[in-house]
């Protein structure tokens, strides 16, 4: 509906009036649009500022306990030489692509050399038992790995080693990738193992004797020449064997040597036991004295032999050699001999005293003394293990059997005497063996 006042105006005056009305209508809309654009631009600037801050802070990084890091700015290391390696902690770097952070794991890495110097495994024959069961075959140099020893023999071996990164800058510059570093170390240690094994005889190598320091040293020189930043810490020989065709023969020799060693140990133990039973703690020193005496006799030096014999006599008389006491059967025999000597001396003294006491009486009345002595002798004889037969006057024919109890006692006594003699002979042989 139009305004009547406007309609009444002439056409020239009506157009400006309409324009003013339209401007009044659009001013609030433009103002709202301007305010909206202003707010949007404010939000956009805030978001851009936030993105800029986030971009600047995106260079923040942390380094763990088992790693180190280096910063590169446009491809060059950041920091002075010797101060470029960043250890455990949190750091701020310029965002990518201005700066780049490269982390390196410093934990030890283990490599197994299971095939480089080992025979090719076919049909599950990865054991010495498979050789004995008929799966042994000649060496194939194309397929089988092996080592050449110093005496021109062949052996198979399995190894393992540990290495780690010790110079991160050289490692990143010249290696960069863990798989490449492992392959470089593998090739270097193979050279070291080959050269170190070539200086050992096969017998020692098959027993596990390895010059690890030499092998590691050769490999480490190669790594240092290439500036890999890698260091080999340890080399282990996990398994070693002779070639398949001869492994059984080598095992037989090893078994024989082990049996020989066991027999030697058993013999030494028996020797120690026998000597201890024979002479106690002084056994070794007595053996040394006897050996000294025998050597002097063989050399024909009478003075030295007499001196050694005097030492032996003194040791048995005192039952002591230096500070070691003579014990065992030797001490028992010596003590028994001393006791027997004392008994004999005492018995002879007693008989002498009795003779001196009876002599005057015998000179005065020989018949009485003689009769008394016969009576004493008869009493001593009849009180022992004696079979006595009494006969009446006249001619008699008797068929008698001996008392079985008395015969049994005599046989037991004979057996005891025989065992005693055998034991003394055995002890004498043991003493001679100990010499």
pTM for this prediction: 0.54
Q: Same structural domain for residues 315 and 279?
A: yes
- The predicted pLDDT at position 29 comes to 72
**CA distances (Å), origin 24, targets 12, 15, 298, 411:** 20, 15, 148, 158
Low-confidence ranges of the chain (pLDDT < 70): 1-26, 51-59, 75, 92, 94, 122-137, 384-392, 394-403, 425, 428-435
| Per-residue pLDDT, 134 | 45
Given 104, 124, 155, which residue is the final one in a domain?
Answer: 104
Q: Is the peptide bond before 97 cis (omega within 30 degrees of 0)?
A: yes
What is the CATH classification number for the domain harbouring 231? 3.30.479.30
pLDDT at 141: 80
Q: Look at residue 115 and tell me if it is in a domain.
A: yes
Instruction: Report yes or no on 250 lying in a domain.
Output: no
Cα(215)–Cα(198) distance, rounded to whole angstroms? 11
Q: Do 171 and 73 share a domain, yes or no?
A: no
- Report the interhelical angle of 283-299 vs 247-279 (nearest 10°): 100
Tokens found for residue 410 = 């005599």
- 125 shares a domain with 44: no
Find the Cα–Cα–Cα–Cα dihedral 192, 198, 200, 205, rounded to 10°: 70
3-state secondary structure of 188: helix
pLDDT value of residue 435:
46
Work out how many domains the chain is built from and give that number.
Answer: 3
Range of the domain at 292: 256-326
In a domain, 13, yes or no: no
Q: Tell which of 268, 293, 326 closes a domain.
A: 326
Give the end of a domain, one of 72, 104, 136. 104
Q: Are 177 and 268 within one domain?
A: no
- Both 71 and 129 in a single domain? no
């Amino acid at each position: 509906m139009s305004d009547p006042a406007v309609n009444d105006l002439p056409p020239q005056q009506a157009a400006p009036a309409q324009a003013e009305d339209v401007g009044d209508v659009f001013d609030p809309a433009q103002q709202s649009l301007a305010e909206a654009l202003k707010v949007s631009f404010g939000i956009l600037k805030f978001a851009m500022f936030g993105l800029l801050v986030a971009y600047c802070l995106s260079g923040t990084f942390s380094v763990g306990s088992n790693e180190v890091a280096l910063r590169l700015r446009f491809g060059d290391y950041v920091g002075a030489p010797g101060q470029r390696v960043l250890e455990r902690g949190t750091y701020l770097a310029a965002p990518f692509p201005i700066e780049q952070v490269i982390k390196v794991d410093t934990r030890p890495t283990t490599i197994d050399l299971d095939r480089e110097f080992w025979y090719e495994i076919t049909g599950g024959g990865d054991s010495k038992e498979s050789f004995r069961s008929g799966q042994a075959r000649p060496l194939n140099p194309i397929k089988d790995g092996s080592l050449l020893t110093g005496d021109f023999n062949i052996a198979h071996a399995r190894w393992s080693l540990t290495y780690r990164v010790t110079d991160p800058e050289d490692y990143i510059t010249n290696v960069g990738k863990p798989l490449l570093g492992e392959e470089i170390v593998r090739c270097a240690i193979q050279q070291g193992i080959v050269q170190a094994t070539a200086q050992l005889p096969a017998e020692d190598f098959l027993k596990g004797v390895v010059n690890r320091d030499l092998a590691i040293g050769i490999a480490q020189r190669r790594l240092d020449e290439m500036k890999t930043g890698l260091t080999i810490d340890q080399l282990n020989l996990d398994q070693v064997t002779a070639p398949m065709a001869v492994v059984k023969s080598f095992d037989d020799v090893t078994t024989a040597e082990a049996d020989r060693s066991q027999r030697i140990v058993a013999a030494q133990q028996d020797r120690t036991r026998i000597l201890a039973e024979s002479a106690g703690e002084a056994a070794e020193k007595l053996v040394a004295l006897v050996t000294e005496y025998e050597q002097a006799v063989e050399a024909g030096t009478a003075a030295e032999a007499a001196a050694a014999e005097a030492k032996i006599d003194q040791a048995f008389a005192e039952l002591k050699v230096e500070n070691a006491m003579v014990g065992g059967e030797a001490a028992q025999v010596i003590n028994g001999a001393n006791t027997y000597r004392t008994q004999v001396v005492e018995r002879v003294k007693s008989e002498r005293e009795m003779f001196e006491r009876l002599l005057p009486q015998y000179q005065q009345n020989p018949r009485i003394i003689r009769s008394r002595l016969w009576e004493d002798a008869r009493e001593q004889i009849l009180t022992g293990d004696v079979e006595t037969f009494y006969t009446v006057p006249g001619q008699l024919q008797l068929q008698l059997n001996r008392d079985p109890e008395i015969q049994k006692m005599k046989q037991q006594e004979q057996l005891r005497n025989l065992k005693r003699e055998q034991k003394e002979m055995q002890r004498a042989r043991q003493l001679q063996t100990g010499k």
